[in-house]
Amino acid sequence: MKALTILLAALAAVATWVVFGPPLERPQAAPPLGYLAAKGDAFFAASFKQIGSSVVPLQTLRGKPVVAYFWASWCAKCREELKAVQALQDQYRDRGLVVVGFGIDQVDRIERFAREAGIDYPVFAGGPAAIALSKRMGNLREEMPFAVAIDREGLAAASRLGEFEPATAQALAAAALR
């Protein structure tokens, strides 16, 4: 009986693959616009202290394509990825893309990390509030790094939890600039 169950499960898996294609090739269902708008609204409703400046309402970014990158100085992947994030800002600045970083550490660590990395895009000291914002933006596991693209319409157009490779950066920029 156990062998028959295993055989049926294997046949079902093969049939699913034949009908729908390999798992990585299946098209993702598009989330409803209301869901994407709610994420954008959550982003624009927040305010954070910018490193070296004052508290900035993110509402000032409405109407601009944005890539928001949530990171921590203790995150090894985040440290490695800052070059790709900075390159994204450098490459698309003239097209109006705004890259913003949200450090979730203590303010002094965020400032030191941003200075040492040569970051020239806005960096916000977010702490627990940035973690909460990333969760509202789709980072349900509350892990770092996390990036989200918001288009000119205020819709959360794409997001990425984990590695922020150059290809990921380009996909996020394209989503924000569409």
pLDDT in tens, 95-119: 999 999 999 988 888 898 888 888 8
> For residue 5, what pLDDT is reported?
58
> For residue 75, what pLDDT is reported?
85
With respect to residue 8, please indicate whether it lies within any of the assigned structural domains.
no
> For residue 6, what pLDDT is reported?
58
Query: Dmax of the chain from CA atoms?
Result: 69
With respect to residue 95, please indicate whether it lies within any of the assigned structural domains.
yes
126 and 104 in contact (C-beta within 8 Å)? yes
**CATH number of 160's domain:** 3.40.30.10
pLDDT tens digits for range 116-146: 888 889 999 988 999 999 999 989 888 889 9
> For residue 89, what pLDDT is reported?
92
Could you state, in chain order, the average pLDDT of each consecutive group of 10 residues for the chain (178 residues)? 57 46 50 80 95 94 97 84 87 96 90 87 92 92 92 94 85 95
With respect to residue 22, please indicate whether it lies within any of the assigned structural domains.
no
With respect to residue 73, please indicate whether it lies within any of the assigned structural domains.
yes
pTM of the model: 0.80
> For residue 37, what pLDDT is reported?
84
> For residue 154, what pLDDT is reported?
95
With respect to residue 9, please indicate whether it lies within any of the assigned structural domains.
no
- 51-74 burial string, b = 16+ CB within 10 Å, else e? beeeebebeebbeebbbbbbbbbe
With respect to residue 64, please indicate whether it lies within any of the assigned structural domains.
yes
> For residue 4, what pLDDT is reported?
58
Q: Which domain holds residue 128?
A: 28-177
Secondary structure class of 144 (helix, strand, coil)? coil
Count of the separate structural domains present in the chain: 1
126 and 103 in contact (C-beta within 8 Å)? yes
With respect to residue 7, please indicate whether it lies within any of the assigned structural domains.
no
As to burial, measured by CB atoms within 10 angstroms (0-12 exposed, 13-18 middle, 19+ buried), residue 168 is: middle
